[in-house]
A = this chain, B = another copy of it.
Amino acid sequence: MQNKITVPFDPDGNLPLYEQIYRYIRDEIKIGHLAEGDKLPSTRRLSDHLQVSRTTVDTAYDQLLSEGYIEARPYRGYYVCPVEELFVYEKSNKKLVDRSVGIREETGEEHRFSRTNRDKDRMMNKDENHKPENQTSFRVDFSPYATENDEFPLGIWRKINKDLLLEERLHIFSRGNAQGEWELRETISRYLRGSRDVEASPEQIVIGAGNDYLLMLLHMMFCAEMGHKKAPSVAMESPTYPGAYNLFTALGCEMHLFSTDEHGPVVEELKGRDLDAVYVMPSHQFPTGAVMPIGRRMELLRYAASSPHCYIIEDDYDSEYRFRGKPIPALQASDSAGRVIYIGTFSKAIAPAIRVSYMVLPDHLLPIFHKVLGFLSCTVPRPDQMILREFLEQGSFEKHLNRMRKIYRGKMDVLLEEMAPLEGRFTIRGKDAGLHILLTGPCKDEKLTALAAKEGVKIYPLSAFYPGKQPEDTFSRCTVLLGFGGLKEEEIRLGAELLKKAWSQ
């Protein structure tokens, strides 16, 4: 197999070496030159062979690993993963392989959510996670929703504001475009192409005040497409992000849940259901932090394309905060059938108070948007849109992101360093990306949470993120979330000390 890896790379090219290696191997897998089960050369051999540093090959392999193209087998090396054949827009009669051999004992069960009062009340309790916490009763709150707010680039923001609010710009206070300002959509279009491989013309982009609002718009579009005959049916992974789940529920959607295993969401479970949308977070699932591997991505795209009217809503909520490897590509980038609706937000990357989200509609949804919702005014004030655009155009967003990535990675490292002594009794997940980690411990998450609370530390039990029936395996039952985005280094250290004390018995 090793002979196959003869990367035709150009050391003077524009792409970094690791990226050229990564792309070459990825493409070899995609076109089938490297097949399921093939062994890759060791990083040492390949670096010798290509005359590049070992780190370069390591980085390329890490990226392939995190995107699910290859897997590492202990003491044996790297092997090509099973990857669904390349996505083709046509119904396939080939039975999809069930790969749900997983970390959990119970798989494949349909968690259809029944809208009883008890269930509702359970979800309501979950909402408390989403609201600003009353921190008075806790010394340290490891909220997975909190972000760093002291680093907002206020000086630059103020400068842009000042320059914008000039007499000759008075027109920005008049009525703007329903989809958002063309200039901002152009900028977002370029940003998405460069950073996320997402192809989106400004015509396809709709700007709105937050993801929830955009989901409300989608809901109306789905309803109109169906002639308002029934409520849209939406599938979400379990566990999932309660904010979106609650919104779909409040909109009256028929909710479907499907489980996840070690290979990502079990797409197989969606079969036979009459779905209008599948809501996923492929680059960094909330709350598990999982990256959806390429195999499941292809399976999901195929599922949507083969169903009569199913869209995939890709919530790429924190793609900016990946600390190891380059960002995971967006699912939208692999969608040739026009079934992925991509949603991104600036609230997480800039500041929660910046209420700007955007979605990319497939071309054939554009006429429906204009027909059903073209009369609406854009919910983001026009001056705010122009300020954001300037912030992006002058490179301040990129600089801010790089700073924040470093700051968050620093916080993550502090937390991991503090938690290292627990390893063995605890398993730590979610180290590569995002603003929280997951700890799986030796007892139920409720107990871990209660012990922490006794020491004045608020942590978040994973069981709170299951809208339906919760599996019985160790991961589902004994895992807690520790967010660090909103905490200072001292607070992280204090919280970690208290947790170790709480769990020392």
Contacts and interface: CB of A to CB of B under 8 A. Distances in A.
Contact of A212 (B355, B371, B377): B377
Contacts of A347: 377
A210 B176 CA distance: 13
A384 interface: yes
Given A172-B353, A173-B354, A380 B209 contact: yes
Interface residues of A, number: 65
Nearest to A224: B250
A113 to B, nearest CB: 13
A165 interface: yes
A247 interface: yes
A451 interface: no
Contact of A158 (B154, B165, B223, B378): B165
A273 interface: no
A419 interface: no
A17 B324 CA distance: 75
Contacts of A130: 375
A428 interface: no
A220 interface: yes
Interface in A346-387: 347, 351-355, 371-384
- Which of A162, A171, A223, A228 has the most C-beta atoms of chain B within 10 angstroms of its own C-beta? A228
A325 interface: no
A397 interface: no
A211 to B, nearest CB: 9
B380 A355 contact: yes
Nearest to A175: B352
A-B pairs, top 7 by smallest CB distance, nearest first, are A209-B379, A173-B351, A353-B382, A175-B352, A127-B375, A149-B174, A228-B252
5 contacts: A127-B374, A149-B173, A353-B382, A353-B383, A355-B381
